[in-house]
C-alpha cells in the first residue's frame, strides 16, 4: 500500500538520506507500547462518544492488540515515525474503511506528547524503586558501621575523625532528596495532553477526561496549545537525572580514591574491576570510573534539551522530535548507574583497621583539643585555636607540658593552672571519645547515629508506600483499560 501520509499533498517520496535524517522510528522504540495504549484509549473514547461505530471500534481494538503482539519489528521502518507506521499497519489489517477512523479528532502532536509522558512515567517509577534499593543498602551499611572510625575530610585533607556510618548516611541523605525530586517531577509528567489534537483541540466532541482516566493520568494538561508544545517536563526530568548522576559521580570518585593503595579504605568486588592488558598485577576500579564518566551523558542530555527548546515558537515544532531521545538516553544511563552503585556498595570490602588508623592521622583531633581548652579552662575559642595551631606545627603528639609551655608564651599563664589535666588532654586526643561527644542532631556519635538511622529508615518505608500507591493506580488503570477493550471487542 502507498504511504498513507504522503499520498495526498506530497508527490515526491523522500530519499533514503532525508528519511534517515527526519525519521524518529529508532527512538520511537521507547514509545511502542505507550502508543498502542494511547490508540486503545482514544478508540474506546471515540466509540463511547458516538464518533465511531461499535463494530468499527471492535475491529480497531482487535487490530491494535494484534499489532502489539507482533511487536515493533513488524512495523514498516520506512515511515517517518511510529504513529503513522502503526496506523498504516492497522489499516493493512482491518482496511481503511475501519482503521482509517482511528485518528479522528487527534494529531500526532498530542499523540506523541502523551506517549512520551506515559513511557517516562514508567522510567520514573522504575528509578524510584531503584533509588529505594540503593538507599536501603546505604542505610544497612551505615547500621553496620556506626562504630567504624574513619578520617573525615575537607579539601581532601584529613580534618576530623568520624564514622563510616556518618559518611555513608550523608550520601543516603543526598539520594533521598533525589528521590523527592523524582517524585515531584512525576506529578508534572503524569498529566494527559491527549485531545489537544494539533494544538487547537477539535470540533469532535471528545471526552478528554475519559482518555485521561483510561491512561491512568492524575490530571489533564488543559490548554490544548500548551499540551502539545511544552517539553518543560523533559527539561525538569533531565535536570533531576543530572543532579542525581552528579551525586552518584561523587560517590564513584570516592570509591576510586578509597580503593587506591594510598588510601586502601576499601576493596571493590572483582565484578566491578578490570585489569591491565600489560600490567598483570593491576586491579582497576573501571566501573566506578565509568560511572564518573557517564555523568557526561546526563549533563549533556540536559544541555541538549535546553538548547533544542530554546526560542521555539508555539505550538508544535518538529525540533521537538530531537528533544525526546535525550531523555531516554539519560534515563537509561542514570537508572543503570543507580543499580550498579547499589551492587558496588553492597559488595565492597571495608578495611576497618586502616580506616581506624587513618582516623587520627594529620592531628584530626585538634578541634576537640581546642574545644576542650575552652570548656575546661574558660579561654576564648579563638585563643584556643591559636594555641593548638602552634602545637600542630610540631609533628609530635601534644602533651600537657608542651601545651603549658605554649600557653605561657601566648597567654602568659599555663592551662594546668586553669584546670586542664593530662586525662582531659588524653580524652580529647582519643578518636572514640571525640566521636562520642559529637551527639548534636546529625553528628557521628554512635547513639545519635542510631537515632538518625532509625528516622531515615522510617522515611524510607514511607517512600516505599508512596511508590506502591503510584504503581497501583497506574496498574489498575491499565487493567481497567484492557477490560474495557475486551468488552468493546465483543461488539
Ligand atoms: N515523531 C514526531 C515527534 O517525535 C511525532 C509528531 C509529529 N508531528 C508532526 N506534526 N510532524 O515529535
Task: Look up the CATH number of the domain holding residue 20.
Answer: 1.10.275.10
Asked if residue 250 and residue 175 are part of one domain, the reply reads yes
Distance from Cα 24 to the centre of ligand 1, integer Å:
8
At 304 the pLDDT is: 98
Using the predicted structure, report yes or no on whether residue 279 has a pLDDT greater than 90: no
Residue 60 domain-assigned (yes or no): yes
At 394 the pLDDT is: 87
Mean pLDDT (whole number) for 340-349: 98
C-alpha dihedral, 414 to 415 to 417 to 421, nearest 10°:
-130
Atom of ligand 1 at shortest range from CA of 83? 5
Check pocket membership of 348 for ligand 1, CB cut-off 6 A.
no
At 12 the pLDDT is: 82
- How would you classify residue 274: left for phi > 0, otherwise alpha for psi between -120 and 50, otherwise beta? beta
Mean pLDDT (whole number) for 305-313: 98
Asked if residue 373 and residue 340 are part of one domain, the reply reads no
Asked if residue 180 and residue 275 are part of one domain, the reply reads yes
Asked if residue 226 and residue 251 are part of one domain, the reply reads yes
Domain count, the chain: 3
Asked if residue 391 and residue 278 are part of one domain, the reply reads no
Confidence class of residue 323 from pLDDT cuts 50, 70 and 90? very high
Residue 480 domain-assigned (yes or no): no
Check pocket membership of 259 for ligand 1, CB cut-off 6 A.
no
At 5 the pLDDT is: 85
User: 401, 419, 437 — which closes off a domain?
Assistant: 437
Asked if residue 286 and residue 228 are part of one domain, the reply reads yes
At 10 the pLDDT is: 87
By most ligand atoms within 8 Å of CB, the mutation choice from 20, 108, 305 for ligand 1 is 108
Check pocket membership of 112 for ligand 1, CB cut-off 6 A.
yes
C-alpha cell at 172: 543516603
User: 437, 455, 480 — which closes off a domain?
Assistant: 437
- The number of C-alpha atoms within 13 Å of 255 and in the hemisphere containing its C-beta is 32
Asked if residue 322 and residue 304 are part of one domain, the reply reads yes
Write out pLDDT tens, residues 114-142.
999 999 999 999 999 999 999 999 999 99
CA-based radius of gyration for the chain: 31
Using the predicted structure, report yes or no on whether residue 395 has a pLDDT greater than 90: no
Q: Is residue 283 a contact partner of residue 266, using CB atoms and an 8 Å limit?
A: no
The whole domain housing 404 covers 366-437
Which residues have a Cβ under 8 Å from the Cβ of 466 and sit 6 or more positions away?
A: 128, 183
Asked if residue 270 and residue 249 are part of one domain, the reply reads yes
Asked if residue 397 and residue 383 are part of one domain, the reply reads yes
Asked if residue 131 and residue 76 are part of one domain, the reply reads no
Residue 425 domain-assigned (yes or no): yes
Residue 80 domain-assigned (yes or no): yes
User: 323, 352, 381 — which closes off a domain?
Assistant: 352
Using the predicted structure, report yes or no on whether residue 1 has a pLDDT greater than 80: no
Q: In this prediction, what percent of the chain has a pLDDT beyond 90?
A: 94
Which residues have a Cβ under 8 Å from the Cβ of 461 and sit 6 or more positions away?
A: none
At 369 the pLDDT is: 95
Asked if residue 326 and residue 386 are part of one domain, the reply reads no
At 11 the pLDDT is: 82
Nearest CA to ligand 1 atom 7: 108
Residue 146 domain-assigned (yes or no): no
Catalytic residues: 155, 276
Using the predicted structure, report yes or no on whether residue 199 has a pLDDT greater than 70: yes
Q: Is residue 245 a contact partner of residue 334, using CB atoms and an 8 Å limit?
A: yes
What is the CA 96 to chain-centroid distance, rounded?
44
CATH (domain of 300): 1.20.200.10
Write out pLDDT tens, residues 48-92.
999 999 999 999 999 999 999 999 999 999 999 999 999 999 999
Write out pLDDT tens, residues 10-42.
888 888 999 999 999 999 999 999 999 999 999
Mean pLDDT (whole number) for 331-335: 98
* Distance from C-alpha of 72 to C-alpha of 65, rounded to nearest angstrom: 12
By most ligand atoms within 8 Å of CB, the mutation choice from 81, 200, 323 for ligand 1 is 81
Check pocket membership of 111 for ligand 1, CB cut-off 6 A.
no
Average pLDDT, the chain: 96
Residue 416 domain-assigned (yes or no): yes
At 2 the pLDDT is: 76
Asked if residue 429 and residue 313 are part of one domain, the reply reads no
* Distance from C-alpha of 309 to C-alpha of 81, rounded to nearest angstrom: 20
Check pocket membership of 81 for ligand 1, CB cut-off 6 A.
yes
Residue 459 domain-assigned (yes or no): no
Check pocket membership of 316 for ligand 1, CB cut-off 6 A.
yes
At 297 the pLDDT is: 98
- Tell me phi and psi for residue 4, to 5 degrees: -65, -15
Atom of ligand 1 at shortest range from CA of 316? 10
Residue 297 domain-assigned (yes or no): yes
Amino acid at each position: 500500500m502507498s504511504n498513507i501520509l504522503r499520498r495526498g499533498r506530497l508527490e515526491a517520496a523522500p530519499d533514503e538520506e532525508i528519511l534517515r535524517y527526519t525519521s524518529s522510528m529508532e527512538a520511537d522504540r521507547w514509545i511502542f507500547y505507550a502508543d498502542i495504549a494511547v490508540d486503545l484509549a482514544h478508540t474506546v473514547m471515540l466509540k463511547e462518544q458516538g464518533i465511531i461505530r461499535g463494530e468499527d471500534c471492535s475491529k480497531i481494538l482487535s487490530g491494535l492488540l494484534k499489532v502489539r503482539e507482533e511487536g515493533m519489528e513488524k512495523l514498516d521502518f520506512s515511515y517517518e515515525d511510529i504513529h503513522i507506521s502503526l496506523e498504516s499497519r492497522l489499516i493493512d489489517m482491518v482496511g481503511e474503511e475501519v482503521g482509517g477512523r482511528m485518528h479522528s479528532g487527534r494529531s500526532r502532536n498530542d499523540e506523541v506528547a502523551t506517549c512520551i509522558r506515559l513511557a517516562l512515567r514508567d522510567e520514573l517509577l522504575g528509578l524510584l524503586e531503584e533509588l529505594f534499593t540503593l538507599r536501603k543498602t546505604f542505610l544497612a551499611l551505615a547500621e553496620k558501621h556506626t562504630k567504624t572510625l574513619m578520617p573525615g575530610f575537607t579539601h581532601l585533607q584529613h580534618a576530623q575523625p568520624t564514622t563510616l556510618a556518618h559518611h555513608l548516611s550523608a550520601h543516603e541523605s543526598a539520594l533521598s532528596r533525589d528521590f523527592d525530586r523524582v517524585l515531584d517531577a512525576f506529578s508534572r509528567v503524569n498529566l494527559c495532553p491527549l485531545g489537544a489534537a494539533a494544538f487547537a483541540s477539535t470540533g469532535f466532541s471528545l471526552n478528554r477526561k475519559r482518555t485521561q482516566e483510561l491512561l491512568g493520568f492524575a490530571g489533564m494538561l488543559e490548554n490544548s496549545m500548551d499540551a502539545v508544545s511544552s517539553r518543560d517536563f523533559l527539561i525538569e526530568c533531565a535536570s533531576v537525572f543530572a543532579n542525581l548522576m552528579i551525586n552518584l559521580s561523587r560517590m564513584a570518585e570516592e570509591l576510586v580514591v578509597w580503593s587506591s593503595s594510598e588510601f586502601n579504605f576499601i576493596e571493590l568486588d572483582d565484578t566491578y574491576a578490570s585489569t591491565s592488558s600489560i600490567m598483570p598485577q593491576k586491579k582497576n576500579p573501571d566501573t566506578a570510573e565509568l560511572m564518573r564518566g557517564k555523568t557526561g551523558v546526563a549533563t549533556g542530555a540536559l544541555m541538549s534539551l535546553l538548547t533544542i527548546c530554546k526560542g521555539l515558537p508555539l505550538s508544535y515544532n518538529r525540533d521537538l522530535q530531537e528533544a525526546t531521545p535525550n531523555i531516554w538516553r539519560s534515563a537509561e544511563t542514570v537508572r543503570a548507574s543507580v543499580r550498579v552503585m547499589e551492587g558496588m556498595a553492597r559488595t565492597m570490602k571495608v578495611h576497618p583497621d586502616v580506616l581506624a588508623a587513618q582516623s587520627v592521622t594529620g592531628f584530626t583531633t585538634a578541634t576537640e583539643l581546642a574545644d576542650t581548652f575552652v570548656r575546661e579552662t574558660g579561654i576564648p575559642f579563638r585563643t584556643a585555636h591559636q594555641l593548638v595551631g602552634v602545637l600542630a606545627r610540631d609533628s609530635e603528639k601534644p602533651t600537657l607540658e608542651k601545651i603549658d609551655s605554649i600557653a605561657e608564651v601566648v597567654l602568659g599563664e599555663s592551662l594546668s593552672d586553669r584546670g586542664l589535666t593530662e586525662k582531659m588532654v588524653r580524652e580529647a586526643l582519643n578518636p572514640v571519645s571525640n566521636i562520642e561527644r559529637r551527639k548534636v542532631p546529625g553528628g557521628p556519635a554512635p547513639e545519635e547515629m542510631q537515632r538518625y538511622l532509625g528516622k531515615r529508615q522510617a522515611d524510607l518505608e514511607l517512600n516505599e508506600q508512596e511508590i506502591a500507591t503510584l504503581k497501583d493506580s497506574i496498574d489498575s488503570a491499565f487493567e481497567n483499560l484492557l477490560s474495557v477493550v475486551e468488552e468493546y471487542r465483543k461488539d
